[in-house]
Amino acid sequence: MRTTGLPEPPPLGAHALPAGTYEGSTVFVTGGGTGLGRAIAVEFARLGAAVFVASRKAEHLAAGEEAIRALGARVASAPCDIRDPEQVAAAFDACERELALPDVLVNNAAANFPVPAEDMSPNAWRTVVDITLNGTFFCAREFARRHLRAGTPGSIVNVGASYAWTGGPGFAHSAAAKAGVKNMVETLAVEWAPYGIQVNGLVPGLFPHDDMTEDIKGNLARTSDKDVCQPALRVGRLRELGWAATFLASPYARFVSGHTLVVDGANWQRRTLTNPPVVTVREQMGRGPFEG
């Protein structure tokens, strides 16, 4: 029997939702200038949304703006470190001033790099948790406060990771933070549904892209052929994640809230009858013996 894996999706530019689904809507995307955030932002723009990009680096903001503008959509951006609630509020002010109060918040920004837990510095731990968990909360809170004041509905999509459930050897900081993000989806969905605010999670599987940090790229390079390591026999295509995000935040998913949707070709459910030999994180990363 041939094993061909999961079929390729429709081409870039196709969309499942009706054209103009987000006409008149504004979408605020943290980290929307790179990688998955930009791919998600682009799919919202393709469906008519105006997009606001928030992150720290000017070159990332410019790249995000360029990708959205190329589609003929309205776009604006502001530098923002999501760890700082005041900068978050200022970015929302800029979004309201230049576009509108965002109807959708995509909490995509996060930080990550692989490191054996025994080598992880307190600063590394704090930084990743601060960006991924605290920053996500500060943005969600800012978005909700503004909608509660205005009496308007809204939708939040928090980008997570499947090691929120399974643990993530080599990524203790990020896995713990993403577990917090998933839990936060469930809490906030209940707290804010009475005000018309949906809160969902979106978990990408492996979606390689050129903006990945050298650390992460290096780690992937060591698992030489990514496709055969996936049950789908392929990695994710960026547009597949964008389509999932635009569905979750759309009028067609209004009754979906508190849910975390995993888009990973079943990789996180993978179990084997015969497990391969254990390789420590140190060995996977080509590190020598612990000398701390």
Q: Shortest gap between Cβ of 1 and ligand NAP (angstroms)?
A: 30
Q: Shortest gap between Cβ of 231 and ligand NAP (angstroms)?
A: 16
Is residue 163 annotated as a catalytic residue, yes or no?
A: yes
Burial of 229 by CB count in 10 Å (0-12 exposed, 13-18 middle, 19+ buried)?
middle
Active-site hit among 22, 163, 195, 252 = 163
* Side-chain-facing half-sphere of 7: CA atoms under 13 Å: 3
For every residue of 216-267, DSSP letters joined together read HHHHHHHS--TGGGSTTSS---HHHHHHHHHHHTSGGGTT--S-EEEESTTG
* Closest CB to ligand NAP among residues 82, 144: 82
* Closest CB to ligand NAP among residues 213, 284: 213
* Closest CB to ligand NAP among residues 32, 48: 32
Q: Shortest gap between Cβ of 129 and ligand NAP (angstroms)?
A: 12
Q: Shortest gap between Cβ of 82 and ligand NAP (angstroms)?
A: 4
* Closest CB to ligand NAP among residues 5, 153: 5
The three-class DSSP label of residue 80 is: coil
Strands across the sheet containing 260-263: 75-79, 50-55, 26-30, 104-107, 154-159, 197-204, 260-263
* Closest CB to ligand NAP among residues 48, 236: 236
> What is the rounded distance in angstroms from the CA atom of residue 115 to the CA atom of residue 119?
7
First to last CA, the chain: 51
Q: Shortest gap between Cβ of 35 and ligand NAP (angstroms)?
A: 2
Provide the token pair at 60: 């990332």
The residue with tokens 């920004």 is 109
* Closest CB to ligand NAP among residues 48, 88: 88
Q: How far is CA 196 from the centre of its chain?
A: 22
For ligand NAP, the nearest residue by Cβ is 35
Specify the DSSP class assigned to residue 12.
B
Q: Shortest gap between Cβ of 288 and ligand NAP (angstroms)?
A: 27
| Residue count of the chain | 292
- Binding residues (CB under 6 A) for ligand NAP: these are 30-31, 33-37, 55-57, 60, 80-83, 108-112, 131, 135, 159, 161, 204, 206-207, 211-213
> What is the rounded distance in angstroms from the CA atom of residue 133 to the CA atom of residue 144?
17
Residues forming the active site: 163
